[in-house]
Structure 1
Amino acid sequence: MKPSYLTLTLFLAICSFSIKSKAQDKPNIILINVDDMGWKDVGFMGSKYYETPNIDSLAAMGIIFTNGYAASSNCAPSRASLMTGKWTPRHGIYTVDASERGLSKHRKIIPTKNTVTLSRNYETIPEILGKNGYQTCHAGKWHLSNNPLEYGFQINIGGGHNGHPKSYYPPYKNVNLSADKGQYLTDLVMEKTLDFVDSTEFPFFLYYAPYAVHTPINPVKSLLAKYSVKPASEGQDNPKYATMVENLDRNIGLLVSKLREKGIFDNTLIIFTSDNGGLYGITKQGPLRAGKGSYYEGGIREPYIFVMKDKIKPNTISHVPITNLDVLPTILNYAGISENTSKTDGDNLAAILEGSKTELERPLFWHFPIYLQAYNKSDNENRDALFRTRPGSVVRYGDWKLHYYFENNEVELYNLDEDIGERNDLTSKEPKKVEELLNYLKDWWASTNAPIPQELNPEYEGDI
Structure 2
Amino acid sequence: MPERDAMRARATLRSGWLVAMLFWAGWFLGEGIYAVLASGDTPWWGVGAAWGAGAPLVLVIALVSSVAWLAWTRIAKVPSWTPSSVRAWLWSDPPEVLARRTGTLLGAGAAIATGVVIASLGMEAVWEKVHTPLLAAMLSALITLVFVAVAILGAAPLVWGLRSLLLLVAKLPYARAVIAPPVVAALPVGAVAVAAALYPENMAALPYAFVVAAAVGTFAALLGILFVAPRAKLAFRTVLVLNALTILLGLFTWFLPPSFAAARRVLFTETSVASLWAGIIESHTDFDEDGATELFGGGDCAPHDPKIHPRALDIPNNGVDEDCRFGDLRADVRAYSTGPSAVPRPAGIADRPNIVLITVDALSHAHTGFGGYGRPVTPNLDAWAKGATVFESAFSASSSTRLSFPALVAGAFVSSVRLLPSRGIPHDFDPSTRTLAVALREHGYETVHVIADDYFDKGRWGGYWMGFDSVDTNAYRAAADPDHTSPEVTDAAIAAVEAPRKAPLFLWVHYYDVHGPYVQPANVRVYGRASVDRYDAELTFLDRQIGRLLAAVRERWPATGRVVAFTADHGEAFDRKHGSMHHDFTLDSAVLHIPLVVEAPWAEGHGARIDGLASQLDVVPTLLNLANVGPWSKAMGESLVPSISKGVAPAKTVLYSLFYIPEDRLKRRDPFRMINVRTDDLAFTIDYEKNTTRLHAWRKDPLEEQELSRANTDDAAIMTYLAARELKWLRSHEQALKKSAKRKSKKSKKKATAATSKAQ
TM-score w.r.t. the length of structure 1 is 0.71
Counterpart of 1:306 (choices 579, 598, 620) is 598
Question: CA separation of 1:148/1:138 partners in 2, compared to 1, >3 Å: closer, same or farther?
Answer: farther
**Count of aligned positions:** 370
Residue 408 of structure 1: how far off its partner (Å): 4.2
- Report whether the alignment pairs 1:271 with 2:560: no
Alignment partner, residue 191 of structure 1: 491
Question: CA separation of 1:319/1:184 partners in 2, compared to 1, >3 Å: closer, same or farther?
Answer: closer
Alignment partner, residue 437 of structure 1: 719
Alignment partner, residue 382 of structure 2: 56
Preserved contact between residue 404 and residue 413 of structure 2 (Cα < 8 Å): no
Residue 404 of structure 1 aligns to a residue whose secondary structure is strand
RMSD, matched Cα: 3.5
Q: Distance in 1 between matches of 2:657 and 2:712?
A: 21
- Report whether the alignment pairs 1:354 with 2:636: no
- Report whether the alignment pairs 1:212 with 2:504: no
Kindly provide the CA deviation profile for residues 153-197 of structure 1, in whole angstroms up to 9, marking residues without a partner as x. 1121128xxxxxxxxxxxx9xx5x335899952111111111111
Q: Distance in 2 between matches of 1:291 and 1:309?
A: 35
Counterpart of 2:526 (choices 224, 227, 235) is 227
Residue 28 of structure 1: how far off its partner (Å): 0.7
Preserved contact between residue 76 and residue 144 of structure 1 (Cα < 8 Å): no
Unaligned runs of 5+ in 1: 1-22, 99-113, 160-171, 372-389, 452-464
Residue 612 of structure 2 aligns to a residue whose secondary structure is coil
Worse-matched range after superposition: 359-368 or 441-450? 359-368
Q: Distance in 2 between matches of 1:190 and 1:221?
A: 18
Q: Distance in 1 between matches of 2:520 and 2:481?
A: 18
Alignment partner, residue 128 of structure 1: 439
TM-score w.r.t. the length of structure 2 is 0.45
Q: Distance in 2 between matches of 1:97 and 1:54?
A: 42
Residue 284 of structure 1: how far off its partner (Å): 5.1
Q: Distance in 1 between matches of 2:408 and 2:570?
A: 11
Note the 1:18-417 alignment, pairs <5 A. 25-91=351-417, 116-141=427-452, 143=456, 146-147=461-462, 150-158=465-473, 177-179=477-479, 185-201=485-501, 202-223=503-524, 226-228=525-527, 238=533, 240-278=534-572, 280=573, 283=574, 291-293=582-584, 294-311=586-603, 313-340=605-632, 342-355=633-646, 357-369=648-660, 391-417=673-699
Residue 623 of structure 2 aligns to a residue whose secondary structure is helix
Q: Distance in 1 between matches of 2:463 and 2:449?
A: 7
Preserved contact between residue 49 and residue 236 of structure 1 (Cα < 8 Å): no
Worse-matched range after superposition: 128-137 or 266-275? 266-275
Residue 43 of structure 1 aligns to a residue whose secondary structure is coil
AA in 2 matched with 1:343? K
Higher strand share: 1
Residue 131 of structure 1: how far off its partner (Å): 0.7
Question: CA separation of 1:179/1:443 partners in 2, compared to 1, >3 Å: closer, same or farther?
Answer: closer
Question: CA separation of 1:220/1:66 partners in 2, compared to 1, >3 Å: closer, same or farther?
Answer: same
Question: CA separation of 1:182/1:393 partners in 2, compared to 1, >3 Å: closer, same or farther?
Answer: closer
Preserved contact between residue 604 and residue 647 of structure 2 (Cα < 8 Å): no
Question: CA separation of 1:258/1:439 partners in 2, compared to 1, >3 Å: closer, same or farther?
Answer: same
Residue 257 of structure 1 aligns to a residue whose secondary structure is helix
Preserved contact between residue 350 and residue 560 of structure 2 (Cα < 8 Å): no
- Report whether the alignment pairs 1:425 with 2:707: yes
Kindly provide the CA deviation profile for residues 117-170 of structure 1, in whole angstroms up to 9, marking residues without a partner as x. 2222321111100111111110124738643684111121128xxxxxxxxxxx
AA in 1 matched with 2:526? Y
Q: Distance in 2 between matches of 1:365 and 1:92?
A: 20
Unaligned runs of 5+ in 2: 1-348, 663-671, 735-760
Preserved contact between residue 273 and residue 304 of structure 1 (Cα < 8 Å): yes
Higher RCO, 1 or 2 (CA under 8 Å, sep at least 6)? 1
Worse-matched range after superposition: 243-252 or 301-310? 243-252
